[in-house]
Structures are given as structure tokens and as C-alpha cells.
């Protein structure tokens, strides 16, 4: 089994002089550029957690979000708004969610030639 370790994000004072943060930012940037109906996009992952496009307008400076094409109702019903807040299952659900998000960011970083 492959083991990964998380390095200290505050190395190099938490700036992009820290290669881990730089590559993380590059990975997130690629995911954010993907359309909303791409299951590997940053925004699809946000919607899995339960953050819908209706809530984006609540930010003082909403992020530029590719809001189309929207996945089908069946896909949204199956994957979106799944976080188990207010439930005994919150901690294990969140652990799996973060493992998958990290795996996706890692795949993007590797595809960009990163570590």
C-alpha cells in the first residue's frame, strides 16, 4: 500500500516558495477550470459536499465558477449535497471525501509534471 505524508504547509512561511503549496495551488487551478458537469472539477467536489451555486452569491467576491453545463438531475441527485452534517456518520464520511479530493489533486499535480 502506498503511503503519503503531508508536509508542513507553513514551510517557507506558508508562501508559494513552499513547493507543496505551489503544486497544490496549480492542481486546484486546473480543477477549478473544469466545467461543472466534470466529476473531477473543483466545483463538482464542492457540490458533493453540499455547496450549491445558489450559495456562491453570498460571498463578497464570488469566485468565477463554470456554471455550465449542469449535470443531469440524476447525477446531481446521486452525488451532490451528500455531506453528513448533524449525523454520527459525519467524521467517516468526511474522511473518505477528503481522501478522494486529495487523490484527485495528486493526479492533477502528477499530470502537470509535479511531485
* DSSP notation for the chain: -----PPPTTGGGGSTTSHHHHHHHHHHHHHHHS-TT-TTSHHHHHHHHT--HHHHTTSSS-------SPPPHHHHHHHSS---TTSTTHHHHHHHHHHHHHHHHHHHHHHTT--
Question: The pTM is what?
Answer: 0.81
Q: How confident is the model at residue 92, as a pLDDT?
A: 95
Q: What is the pLDDT of residues 30-68, one digit of tens each?
A: 999 999 899 999 989 988 988 655 565 566 665 677 777
pLDDT-above-90 percentage for the chain: 44
Average pLDDT, the chain: 86
Amino acid at each position: 500500500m502506498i503511503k503519503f505524508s503531508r508536509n508542513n504547509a507553513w514551510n517557507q512561511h506558508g508562501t508559494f516558495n513552499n513547493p507543496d503549496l505551489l503544486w497544490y495551488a496549480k492542481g486546484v487551478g486546473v480543477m477549478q477550470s473544469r466545467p461543472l458537469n466534470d466529476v473531477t472539477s473543483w466545483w463538482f467536489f464542492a457540490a458533493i459536499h453540499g455547496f450549491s451555486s445558489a450559495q456562491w452569491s453570498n460571498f463578497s467576491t464570488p469566485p468565477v465558477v463554470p456554471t455550465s453545463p449542469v449535470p443531469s438531475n440524476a447525477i446531481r441527485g446521486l452525488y451532490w449535497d451528500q455531506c453528513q452534517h448533524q449525523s454520527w456518520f459525519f467524521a467517516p464520511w468526511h474522511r473518505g471525501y477528503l481522501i478522494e479530493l486529495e487523490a484527485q489533486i495528486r493526479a492533477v499535480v502528477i499530470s502537470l509534471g509535479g511531485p
